[in-house]
Amino acid sequence: MAKNRNDDFVTEITPKSEDFSRWYTDVVRKAELADYSPVKGCMVIRPYGYALWENARDLLDARIKATGHMNAYFPLFIPESLLKKEAEHVEGFAPEVAWVTHGGSNELEERLAVRPTSEAIICSMYSKWVQSWRDLPLLINQWGNVVRWEKVTRFFLRTTEFLWQEGHTAHATAEEAQEETLKMLGVYKDFLEEDLGIPVITGIKTEKEKFAGADRTYAVEALMSDGRALQAGTSHNLGQNFAKAFDIQFEDKNQEIQYAWSTSWGMTTRTIGALVMTHGDDNGLRLPPRVAPYHVVIVPIKAGNYEEEVLPAARELEELLRTAGLRVYLDDREEYTPGWKYNEWEMRGVPLRAEIGPRDVKNKQTVLVRRDTRDKTFVPIDHVPGAAATLLDDIQTSMLSTARDFMETNTHPVKDFDKFREIMSGPRGFLKANWCGDRDLEVEIQQETSATIRCLLPDEEPTGPCFYSGKPAKHVAIFAKAY
């Protein structure tokens, strides 16, 4: 942490209501999640931001492994000939691909793509590994980085290079592939809601919005606190498209040669941006305890017999909390006042602050302050670990509940385009409407309002005509302006 920042660094955050985009950038930079880099479009994830990502990553990794998947790693570079094997896939990513043309001073015989996604390189290996039905299902996940040459970038939400996980699986039947696709969609939903406190809507993408080369794409869609949607993860049923392109064949139980059925699914560091925009307020971050770099920050009050009594008591409290398995930081820096530290750690979103001063030492207690509500609780020192754990559980639950209330309040059923246009030009949010499924009209609506179909709700049947065309509706759709 920097040692010479002034008070303005902590207090000057643009209010969300004044300029949401600037507020977001202020919070990311001043909470030291990330910073600009010398490489245009790329960010540096700072230690506090990376700790947040590591905690989220580890929780998601455990969920992925619990479903039977194993981690592996594949090359960052993809030969152009491999990338071109699946034509629709190549066309979908062509504008974003970065190419390596030279190794040192020598021109390469074949260009290498810096992976925008790994279907091509992984499928080329699966064609070697899959020979029999006994080799299936093949359930592999990869943690790594990808590069997509974005024209407009923003911290975590859209950067030229970003971190992610991408799962790639191969199956013996279409039914198994579909089951896998929906299973991983459920894993993402549970992770976002239970670990990150971000409520989501799940559904299927339209043909216009689906992943290039997929039969079907499913998505988890979150609503940010400015009324815009954020696609937080996707799960793709690839059918046999990539198996046929890369010759992934196997001998089935009847000794007949079949093409495998495959899936891919991914989630990225944009989930950190989703955390900021879902839970943050005018004072900075508010972090769900399950992923917060620190559960508790201890601020000793420099007064009275500080060196002999207060500081040793703060260190004992630190040890109590750490022994209880909590992530804790003792802020004993002498160059900053307690008030300055309160502001800083509030900006950084630490769920609980423990204050301890001469009076607290005398009374054998500490003061626990919640970041989400700012409620204070006086707790005997010996009871702090249990009380902190209970409060952290309540904070986690409360943050999801608050975010869910916001999403439900800002999900608007609409039956006509006038109302649709009015909401999109005002408060925004999720707009739920009957939809005829016409792709040309989907483009027309986007051109007129900037709203896109975030997903179709497969479990809901339309009860009236299409809100836009008046034609018979085929789907119930969720529209929104999105990041």
Using alpha carbons, select from 399, 274, 281, 390 the residue that is nearest to residue 346.
281
Going by C-alpha positions, the residue among 260, 190, 169, 261 that lies closest to residue 232 is: 190
Nearest of 368, 374, 373, 365 to residue 388 by alpha carbon: 368
Angle at 283 between CA 282 and CA 285, to 5 degrees: 100
- Number of other CB atoms surrounding residue 388 within 10 Å: 26
SS3 179: helix
Residue 128 to residue 300: CA distance in whole angstroms:
61
Q: Are 193 and 73 contacting, i.e. CB atoms less than 8 angstroms apart? A: no
Residue 278 near residue 197, CB atoms below 8 Å = yes
Q: What is the pLDDT of residue 2?
A: 40
Q: Is 360 exposed, middle or buried (0-12, 13-18, 19+ CB in 10 A)?
A: buried
Strands 216-223 and 200-204, bridge-based pairing: antiparallel
Give residue 1's pLDDT: 42
Cα 317 to Cα 320: distance, rounded to the nearest angstrom: 5
Distance CA 84, CA 426 (A): 44
Q: Token match 């592996």: residue?
A: 72
Residue span(s) of the chain under CATH 3.30.110.30 come to: 416-480
CA pair distance 28, 132, nearest whole angstrom: 50
Q: Could you give the CA distance from residue 81 to residue 62 in angstroms, rounded to a whole number?
A: 35
Strand partners, 70: 140
Which residues of the chain form CATH 3.30.930.10?
7-279
Q: Alpha-carbon distance 122 to 70, whole Å?
A: 14
Residues 6 or more apart whose Cβ sits within 8 Å of residue 245: 85, 86, 123
Question: For residue range 371-413, what is the model confidence (pLDDT) as tens digits?
Answer: 999 999 999 999 999 999 999 999 999 999 999 999 999 999 9
457 neighbors 203 (Cβ within 8 angstroms): yes
Which residue ranges in the chain fall short of pLDDT 70? Answer: 1-11
Q: What pLDDT, on the 0 to 100 scale, is given for residue 215?
A: 97
Where are the domain boundaries for CATH 3.40.50.800 in the chain? 296-406
416-480 carries CATH number 3.30.110.30: yes
**For the segment 237-273, what is each residue's pLDDT rounded down to a tens digit?**
999 999 999 999 999 999 999 999 999 999 999 999 9
Cβ atoms 457, 477 nearer than 8 A: yes
Helices (H), 149-294: 174-190, 241-246, 270-279
pLDDT score, position 353: 98
State the pLDDT at residue 85.
87
pLDDT of residue 11: 58
Q: How many residues does the chain have?
A: 483
User: Both tokens of residue 480?
Assistant: 């929104």
CATH code of the region 7-279 = 3.30.930.10
Class of the CATH domain delimited by 296-406: alpha beta
Tell me the CA end-to-end span of the chain in Å, nearest whole number: 31
Distance from C-alpha of 167 to C-alpha of 69, rounded to nearest angstrom: 8
Helix (H, G, I), strand (E, B) or coil at 228: coil
Q: Measure the CA–CA gap between 454 and 175, rounded to whole angstroms.
A: 25
- Cα 118–122–128 angle (5° rounding)? 165
Q: CA-to-CA distance for 10 and 275, rounded, in angstroms?
A: 20
Kindly report, residue by residue over 143-183, the tens digit of the pLDDT: 999 999 988 999 999 999 999 999 999 999 999 999 999 99
CA distance 217 to 7: 48
Q: In b/e form, how buried is each residue of 407-436, taking b as 16+ CB within 10 angstroms? A: beebebebeebeebeebbeeebbbbbbbbb
Locus of tokens 């950084």:
348
